[in-house]
Amino acid sequence: MYKRNFWQLVLGAIALALILAGVIYYFVLPKPGLREKIMLSVSSDKSTYGAGEEIRFTLQLSNTGDVESCASNLVEGNIRVVSLTRNGEEVTTRSAPISFIEHLSLLLEKSLAVLRPGESLDIAMASWVDPGLEKQALRTVALSKSESVATFYEVEAPGDYNLTFVYEYPGTSSPDCPNVFQGETNQDGIVFTITP
């Protein structure tokens, strides 16, 4: 009798393990053939600004894939300027170490949000007067293990600007967001004019 109960218990445990594995496969793991894709699109509040005026952008991340993915809503660490020209020439930049109250990697992890297929996330970005350049500038920050580095791009001089961004999350996943989009998005940008 004990032998029979023992085998019933073993078979029951095996059946339960198989059911649990099926549930994990179906609900948690990405399915073969399903793709993960986040697309970047950039827009500005207007196409012409006066010299010294704040320039505002919206960078929108859209999940155009088949599975949910996590993305961050921070400019710092995630948004990189691929190219910024004024009248066809590279703009003036400066770089400097930067620190935050918490390490940037922790801020990035806390900023993750789930994007289900078809959902979007907006990231606001604006220029401001950089004390080093003493002009309106855009700032991006690159994550590093020891210290992060900010790059400032001057956007005050009159001319026609062509700006291209890319999004790439450099941090780690979080318990709340295990499926983080880790690749680069497409590159997207805008053209705007600064008048005297």
**Once rounded to an integer, what is the mean pLDDT over residues 40-67?**
95
How confident is the model at residue 99, as a pLDDT? 85
pLDDT tens digits for 79-129?
999 999 999 999 999 999 988 888 888 899 999 999 999 999 999 999 999
Closest C-alpha among 4, 2, 7, 69 to residue 38: 69
**d(Cα 181, Cα 102) in Å, to the nearest integer?**
23
pLDDT tens digits for 145-188?
778 899 999 999 999 999 999 999 998 888 888 889 988 999 99
Q: What is the mean pLDDT of the chain?
A: 88
If you search the block for the tokens 């940037």, which residue do you land on? 104
**Once rounded to an integer, what is the mean pLDDT over residues 42-47?**
95
